[in-house]
A and B are shown apart, each in its own frame.
Chain A
Amino acid sequence: GAVVSQHPSRVICKSGTSVKIECRSLDFQATTMFWYRQFPKKSLMLMATSNEGSKATYEQGVEKDKFLINHASLTLSTLTVTSAHPEDSSFYICSASAPGTAGGTEAFFGQGTRLTVV
């Protein structure tokens, strides 16, 4: 299947600093990418939809000024957690859709980024 690469896999930062997470589609072009966060033993929660060349669409309750999303090319989307606080510590995961068989579109996921804010 298609490959989505996420970087870094782990990051520890101090409170008040900003952290950037990259999501790349390696072998296909993705006009749309998605960002999720996941707390321990919980399911994935969709944060926002990243659209190439336009503003991201955020889910209800997600602060767009805190979680900045940029999708400058068809293969790269970035999520910046600004002024991070310990409660932002979480597992962040991106996905990108690629045209698949059987008529639907398949989403492929990055390996995730474990963010710890100290």
Chain B
Amino acid sequence: DAKTTQPPSMDCAEGRAANLPCNHSTISGNEYVYWYRQIHSQGPQYIIHGLKNNETNEMASLIITEDRKSSTLILPHATLRDTAVYYCIVKAAGNKLTFGGGTRVLVKP
């Protein structure tokens, strides 16, 4: 599966949109972009995933560039409970999830 690169940490203001970038320049045509987050001392939580098109659900939006080499996870209105480590993972359907370092997001009041 392709490798991803994320900033190690970022702060964002409560109530504002949080934009989390992820680079995956070696992504293959059959690989999806997945986002998970892990709140302290809990198991990871699925957020969203996509292949080519932008996706939106009740938690977040996923914007994938046309060349698919990068993506952005958008939390539209960050709350304090969104403080977590966010993992961007690229993998083909059916393959195992391999976690990198992720981005440690701190939402500040």
Distance between A33 CB and nearest chain B CB, rounded to angstroms: 11
**Interface SS, B side:** loop
Q: Which residue of chain B has the shortest Cβ distance to A49 in the bound complex?
A: B96
CB-CB nearest in chain B for A98: B46
| Cβ–Cβ < 8 Å partners of A107 in chain B | 46, 97
Q: List residues of chain B with CB within 8 A of the CB of A1.
A: 46
Contact of A108 among B46, B51, B94 (CB under 8 A): B46
**What is the number of contacts between chain A and chain B, taking CB atoms within 8 Å?**
61
B residues near A (Cβ < 8 Å) are: 32, 34, 36, 38, 41-46, 49-51, 55, 87, 93-94, 96-102
A93-B43, A93-B44, A111-B42 known; A104+B49 contact, CB < 8 A: yes
In the complex the two chains form, is B102's CB within 8 Å of A104's CB?
no
Question: Cβ of B97: which chain A residues have Cβ within 8 Å of it?
Answer: 34, 46, 95, 107
- Interface residue tally of chain A, by bracket? 20 to 34
Q: Contact partner of A100 among B38, B49, B100, CB < 8 A?
A: B49
The B-contacting residues of A in range 40-91, CB under 8 angstroms, are 43-46, 49, 91
Q: What secondary structure prevails in chain A residues at the interface with B?
A: strand
The residues of A with any CB-CB pair to B shorter than 8 Å are 1, 4, 6, 34, 36, 43-46, 49, 91, 93, 95, 97, 100, 102-112, 114
| Sample of 21 A–B contacts (CB below 8 Å) | A4-B43, A34-B96, A34-B97, A43-B87, A43-B100, A43-B102, A44-B44, A91-B41, A95-B44, A95-B97, A102-B51, A103-B93, A104-B34, A106-B49, A107-B97, A108-B46, A109-B44, A109-B46, A112-B42, A112-B43, A114-B41
